[in-house]
Structure 1
Amino acid sequence: MENSSFKPIECGETLPQNNVHAVSVSMPKLQDVIDYEEGFGEAMEKIKSGYPRFTMHPYLRILAKYIKEKYKVSDSYEVVLLSSQKAVDILSDKYYIHNKIDIDEPFGVILVRNGTCQLQRVLMFIQHVGYNLSSRFAEDYLYNIGLINSKHKEETEKEELAFDLVVSTLAKAYNQAKENITLAPSGMNAMYGVVKGLKNIQRKNGRDILVQLGWLYLDTMNIVKHYYEQSKVFCDVKNLDLLEEYLKENGFKVSAIITEVPTNPLLLCVDMKRLNSLCKKYNIPLVVDSTLATPYNVNLNDYADIYVESLTKFASGNADVLMGAIILNQKSKLSHMNVEFFKHCDKAYIKDIQRMAFEIKDYETRVKRISSNTKALVEYFKKCSYIDKIYYCLNDENELEYKQIMKDDNSYTGLISVTFNKSFETIYDNINFAKGPSLGTDFTLLMPYTYLAHYDYIKSEEGEKYLDEIGLPKDILRISVGSENINDIIEEFKRLEE
């Protein structure tokens, strides 16, 4: 059976295709993913861009080379570009790095010695906290000095309206005041602002433990490690008994609890009512990453103190803008401390905001369309002989918790994760959807989650044992359901029945 609706996309093609600001990249074969993770092979020659916090954008490479030549920087130093001078100051203080020459640019530049452990630490810190320079900023800069001949054409909102349009949309969606919302250049930079703000506020109260509930997104956990010597991870969001026992002894030492609703990629949902009750008992702020749920699927107003959302995902829908947001719940005691949380975030570049403002206008309709498709795809998967297990928000194990917070019976989050009783590599290689990192796109996007997010674990017996312990299958496929015609989506999956 051949379906003309979806065609293979070459390795290294941007996702979306022909978009220089794309935040995803096509990895159509499992071997492409392995080559990318190992850092060699044919795929590495083809993959020139990717998720901006992990892969240096081609425009940033050109700009770094230009800065090196402009300031006659010695080859013994790496030119590292940052989103702002504020980011430079933070890196300088943290790693005791101070540029030996004066560099006067409208963005951040830090010079780090090549061949040192320090360079790797600096690059990882930038990845974790999202102080990356915008590709649109680099594009404008390079165009203005004549190093590129044209700029990518895209639809945007007017500059004077853009910021307010994005913030107003989020304020309405979350039912919060606009002053309780700020934008950041990425979801991780928003999470960094929250973690740093909590650290500053709570250390005065002697609260120095941060609790992570669920196996959170890797860089969220890395941010916590940067700023909390003591952190406690409870991998299983379904077992609040363990958390409750821990809080009996340590509750008043806990700075905050951070969780995702639902978790990624297993789509598990914590009992928010019980969690909220525990937080109130010990006066612990609750931080929720609401990216996967979106404010249109669930109502968290009564439960969380702070929401963090990666707008790169469903809010954009096109995987071509890196941006995040902090939303403070006006019912929380923390709502009046917005300056403390917002001041640590960097400013998003105006061209990114303009693009986001254009895309976010379709946020609600996009989510509802994707939700409907997700429900239909789940029903199809339930009847499939090649499916081993389906992970989604309204499965038997999860239904009661998710129904506490869902806005209506059709509030399916736009992700499904599945395992197969056939060869994972064969299935991955032969299905024709877009395949690469990120999620929340209007186009269906598949990701071999464990290979891309936790590759180190699948390389050893010890690592695979740990994956078993936390219940994360090695061969799990995360499906970000798109808004294409659902019959076309199902027909493409039916090809696997052959």
Structure 2
Amino acid sequence: MPTTSFSSPPTDVGCPIPPNTPHAISVALPTWQDAVDYEEGRERVVSRMLSGYPRFFISKEIQQLMSVYEQKFAKPSESCFLFPSRKTAERCRDYLRRYYESSNPACLRLAEITIVTPDQSKSLIQGNITLHLVLFPKEALSVAKSFWQHTGDGISSRLAERSLNLLQTQFDEQNTKNFNKVSTTRASFCKRYSNGQISNGLNLTYEPKETLSTNISSIDNSIFVEQNFYVEERYGRNLPISFAEKAKLELRRRIANTLRIENISRLTESFEQVIKNVTEDDVFLFPTGMSSIFHAHQFLLTAFPPKKSICFGFTYVDTLKILQKFGPGCYFYGNGLSSDIDEIENLLESGEKILALFCEFPSNPLLKSPDLRRLRILADKYDFPIVVDETIGNFVNVKVFEWADITVSSLTKIFSGDSNVMGGGLILNPQRRYYEELKKVINNEYEDLLWGEDAIFLERNSRTFRERIMKINENTEEICKLLKNNPKVKNIYYPKYVTPDIYLQYKTVKGGFGGLFSITFYSDLAAQQFFDSLVIAKGPSLGTNFTLACPYTILAHYHELDWASRYGVEPGLIRVSVGLEDKNVLLKMFQQSLDAITE
């Protein structure tokens, strides 16, 4: 089993969670006020952010790499973002054209950059690295950030780290005699780029600069990969980077095998039928969980005539944004009730056609379970596919695959558990009617954007995910029992208590109710007292091997609190992701936080 807790939870605002972890994907916001100040952009919090959830926070590695190329290619009035492929860069440019109002279309430019590996025989990674730059006016930065957040297709921090390392290596080889002289450094740095090591293949026009205000010698060497890489190798935790493709294959097989085992628990099919259900060829990997949702929507828009989709239930914020912004729009049934299914049926009966229905099982953060059987009947009758995000339920606990045409999942969460790598998965159901059409589209359109080193970490982390899930199920059920019986608690949202009759229909034989729950109190003060007194890690994300909490509505919907409240997501809602710590220790911690409530 991996490490399950820290000697003490991180209490410094802005420090990585887990602490002292390269590429940590959470960040410490220890108090309620910290979360509020973060959302309001207060300097006391923002200036101390050393880490953050990668779709919302641009890591220091990516920031440094962007700075290098901004100084080479950008005008003083421009910023840039980096993407791993031409297609993703073009999508960003198209998004900017749609949502950034400008009278000058030429203000949005692309560049293709190739970083050459100096000596591939000595390199930890084989081959060159090609990156794609989107240049845009600084006034459009918030729009570009929303694309980065919604799609999850930006470059990973490990890819940025490797790129910086290669740039440093190139520079060292070319400037061994004068490395510490700033003036020589600048001249050589510019000369290196002019020697053809950057190709301008994508509509690149820029004003050349004689000098660069930031030079390669000033890059923080502490972010380079060797030390972290060799620590992993020395203790046998990771495969060498040359095994990245094998790691990806193992990940796809691991996911497919889990789904087969899930279906074997059903007595309605024979083993021979089940084993044909899904293979690794039906599993596709993505750089983030949100990327798998984004591309599922894109594949559907390519396979079928563009139409509105349905977002069923109060899903995570970016799922709804994807359906609203990247296509004809969507119908939103945020309560996810049986009465909403009645309304959907009336809509379809009226002749309205939809592209697909997207839902979570169960939902985040209210842990409601949609009636998949009834939705499946409508899908078959009115000819539309269903996309189910099973991240919260997870492969081991719930068997939802058979009801979906596409299943998506954030591998960042409990599948990984270590909170140090991002990833996503998309699985096609070969038993569904649209399988051939969708498989053809995906085979033509799919890009493998998961950086190799990230795949290495995902493969390593996920080897024990079954055992971890079982332990977390047990811990969570005991904590929720404690909280449910306390009169200070207003509501507790947990699949065992929320739509349990539906959840139990899809629970696997050995599965449980998952590791996530949300809780509300009778006043904002009570919620803050409970949260601030919790002696656990506090920050964004979920599905970590350690217990992690956040004031969910504040972080996800701070600028639309009234709208979220209409669907039962109260401003004072706290979301808790339970980890692998000793059950009795956790129970004591939560009891102490209940005792801290004075109102």
Give the alignment's TM-score, normalised by structure 2.
0.77
Alpha-carbon RMSD across the aligned residues, in angstroms, is 2.1
Q: Which residue in 2 is equivalent to 1:362?
A: 464
Query: Amino acid of the residue matched to residue 448 of structure 1?
Result: P
Aligned to 2:325: 226
Q: State the Cα distance separating 1:358 from its structure 2 match.
A: 0.2
SS of equivalent residue, structure 2 residue 491 = strand
Deviations 1:369-406 (A, max 9, x none): 111111111222122233221110011x5111001100
TM-aligned CA deviation for residue 39 of structure 1: 0.7
- Structure 1 residue aligned with 2:12: 10
- Name the aligned partner's letter for residue 567 of structure 2: I
2:247 counterpart letter in structure 1: A
Q: Does structure 1 conserve the Cα–Cα contact (< 8 Å) formed by 2:30 and 2:538? A: yes
Cα distance change, pair 42–287 in 1 and its aligned pair in 2 (3 A) = same
Mapping 1:443-454, distance limit 5 Å: 443-454=546-557
Report how many aligned residue pairs link the two structures: 482
126, 131, 137: which one aligns with 1:113:
137
How far, CA to CA, are the matches of 1:186 and 1:398 in structure 2? Answer: 29
Distance 1:497 1:292, change over 3 A: closer
Deviates more, 1:413-422 or 1:308-317: 413-422
User: Does residue 536 of structure 2 align to residue 470 of structure 1?
Assistant: no
- Return 5+ residue gaps in structure 2 as ranges: 98-104, 116-129, 169-218, 261-277
Alignment-derived partner of residue 323 in structure 1: 423
Q: CA deviation at 1:228?
A: 2.7
Task: Work out whether residues 391 and 413 of structure 2, in 8 Å CA contact, stay in contact via their aligned partners in 1.
Answer: yes
Q: Tell me if the contact between 1:130 and 1:186 (Cα under 8 Å) persists in the aligned partners.
A: yes
1:238 aligns with: 337
Map of 2:476 onto structure 1: 374
1:390 aligns with 2:400: no
Q: CA–CA distance in 2 between the matches of 1:406 and 1:260? A: 14
Identity %: 29
Partner of 2:378: 278
SS of corresponding position for 2:408: strand
Structure 2: distance between partners of 1:247 and 1:415 = 34
Q: Contact between 1:184 and 1:346, CA under 8 Å: does it hold in 2?
A: yes
| SS of alignment partner, residue 56 of structure 1 | coil
CA distance, structure 2, for counterparts of residue 346 and residue 222 of structure 1: 23
C-alpha contact (below 8 Å) 1:259/1:288 kept by paired residues? yes
- Structure 1 residue 485: Cα displacement: 0.9
Q: CA shift at 1:244, angstroms?
A: 2.0
Structure 1 residue 45 displacement after superposition: 1.8
Give 2:164's match in structure 1, choosing from 113, 122, 142: 142
1:200-236 CA deviation, whole Å, 9 max, x = no partner?
Answer: 2220xxx612111011111111111223324101112
The question of whether the paired residues in 2 share the 8 Å contact of 1:83 and 1:346 is answered with no
| Contact 2:112–2:132 under 8 Å retained in 1 | no
CA offsets 1:71-124 (integer angstroms, 9 cap, x no match): 253221112112222212323344356537774451121111122xx3332221
1:156 counterpart (234, 238, 241): 238
Question: 1:167: which partner in 2?
Answer: 252
Going from structure 1 to structure 2, the CA distance change for 1:76 and 1:19 (only over 3 Å counts) comes to: same
* Residue 4 to residue 333, structure 1, CA distance change in 2 (3 Å): closer
Counterpart residue type for residue 156 of structure 1: N
Deviations 1:243-296 (A, max 9, x none): 222221145x11110000001101000111111111111121010011101110
CA distance in structure 2 between the partners assigned to 1:301 and 1:145 by the alignment: 44
State the 1:178 CA deviation.
Answer: 0.7
Find the aligned partners of 1:100 and 1:398 in 2 and give their Cα distance.
49
The amino acid that maps onto 2:547 is T
Residue identity in the other structure for 1:60? I
Mapping of residues 342-353 of structure 1, within 5 Å? 343-353=445-455
Shift in alpha-carbon separation, 1:488–1:4, aligned structure 2, 3 A: farther
User: What are the Cα deviations for residues 124-170 of structure 1, in whole angstroms up to 9, with x where unaligned?
Assistant: 11221112111111111212333325423443234433111111110
Aligned counterparts of 1:190 and 1:497: Cα–Cα separation in 2 = 38
Distance 1:4 1:406, change over 3 A: closer
* Greater helix content: 2
Post-superposition CA distance 1:441-495 (Å, at most 9, x none) = 000000111000000023xxxx2xx333211111011110101111111111111
Alpha carbons of structure 1 residues 102 and 85: separation in structure 2 relative to 1, 3 Å: closer
Partner of 1:84: 85
Measure the CA separation in 1 of the matches of 2:67 and 2:376. Answer: 51
Rounded Cα–Cα distance in structure 1 between residues aligned with 2:9 and 2:134: 43
Equivalent residue for 2:295, pick from 166, 170, 193: 193
Which is higher, the Rg of structure 1 or of structure 2?
2
| TM-score of the aligned structures, taking structure 1 as reference length | 0.92
2:151 corresponds to which residue?
129
Shift of 1:324: 0.5
Output the CA distance in 2 between the equivalents of 1:54 and 1:338. 31
1:260 to 352, 360, 369: 360
Give 1:389-468 correspondences, 5 Å limit: 389-395=491-497, 397-408=498-509, 410-421=511-522, 423-458=526-561, 463=562, 466-468=563-565
Q: CA deviation at 1:62?
A: 1.0
The answer for the alignment partner of 1:57 in structure 2 is 59
Q: 1:319 to 1:101 in 2, by over 3 A?
A: closer
For residue 439 of structure 1, what is the amino acid of its counterpart?
L
